Structure 1
Amino acid sequence: MPSDRRTVQLDAEGASLTGDLAVPAAAQGMVLFAHGSGSSRHSPRNQQVARALETAGFGTLLLDLLTEDEERVDERTREHRFDIPLLAARLTAAADRLGEGEDTAQLPVATFGASTGAAAALITAADRPDRVRAVVSRGGRPDLAGAALSRVRAPTLLLVGEADEQVLGLNRDAAAQLPGEHEVSVVPGATHLFPEAGALDQVVQRSISWLRRWLPGGVGAPGGG
């Protein structure tokens, strides 16, 4: 169980953002979540994944990349949820704040993006190659990362439902632009939000395996066994 779970406020790009931070004892790394369009840190799917990662020994930060005022505007206009440069800048600032935290500064970071949050997760990895050591995308839109895809060196796992055909195609196209280690991992029978029985469990298991492999100390990490 986590040794510490608390709500935090992070200053990022001129905004005060709210997040839920959990740091297990002897954590192997920190996983920084970027939720998808129209969602929040309270997403039951991201919550389920985060709890499983904590049990596996990873710290987590579930962060709302929009302020409460911006979220209210976005509910009406949807003007912020596809503002990828804004979301990415704030996620990158959050990664920097983790590098300054007393209990997180020494921990390697992975970014975990869902839907449009996947683009922000990839841009942060591209902009902070020494900080972000792995990326996981769940039903993501990596294509929205644009030219940043060619700068992503962190090993990247793209999890997509088999029945989410349009997004699967976008992920395969985006994967072809990634220069580093990457994998498109297809969950059989799953649709976009992985509501099918056992689908999200597969997401969790594959995510944990990827993080254990690629974060420092893992078998695929530099110097790993």
Structure 2
Amino acid sequence: MLRNGAADPAPRIALLGNFSGLLALDPAPAVFAVDMPIGLAGRSGLGGRGPERHVRRHLGARQSSVFSLPARASVMCEDYREACRVALATSEPPRKVSKQAFNLFPKIREIDALMTPELEARVYEVHPELGFWRLNGGTEMSLPKKIRNEGSMPGIEQRQALLECHGFPASFWRQPRPSGVGADDLVDAAVNAVIAERIWKGEAQAFPHDFERDAKGLRMAIWA
């Protein structure tokens, strides 16, 4: 989802195949809001990294949307059993890797390979449900947008209505979506775009505020 600020306020959809394609956009957005973990801990505590633990406390019934990320060494494993073995050795208390998290490891590795502390001036980690919490006055959304891994229209429409208060016209949801992009994916991308604009304006905050940095010097924080 691209929004180019006051000079070009109309949001538009661009489907890119990888993170390098995002960084190569021309003209480049001032802020990239990325719904993927950035910054990988050497060891994982109860509930994952600090960012995951800090945002869950705000999300109530929606906190299950925040998965626990294991340590860097586990994320670098390409075999599920090996990832679980490494995760058990690098977590306290010992914990294996969920299949949901493991399926995201290739994308996390791709981002980690390209991220640098210098890119942090433009690239920020976000989470859609924390973004909705922020736009909803510090209250989690009352309805889920997915039930049993399927999009749930009552929850999606609830989020669409909230986003219409933040610059997304009702007609935006009626346009054709790229193949493979669900209605829930679109509202997630839209709220991330709003949070990117908040970051650009200096209105967003990091969770946690006193974030730590990983072995590469990358901050571990989710913004909203």
- TM (normalized to structure 1)? 0.31
Bigger relative contact order, structure 1 or 2 (CA pairs below 8 A, ≥6 apart): 2
Report which of the two has the higher share of strand.
1
Report which of the two has the higher share of helix.
2
- TM (normalized to structure 2)? 0.32
Q: Give the structure with higher Rg (CA).
A: 2
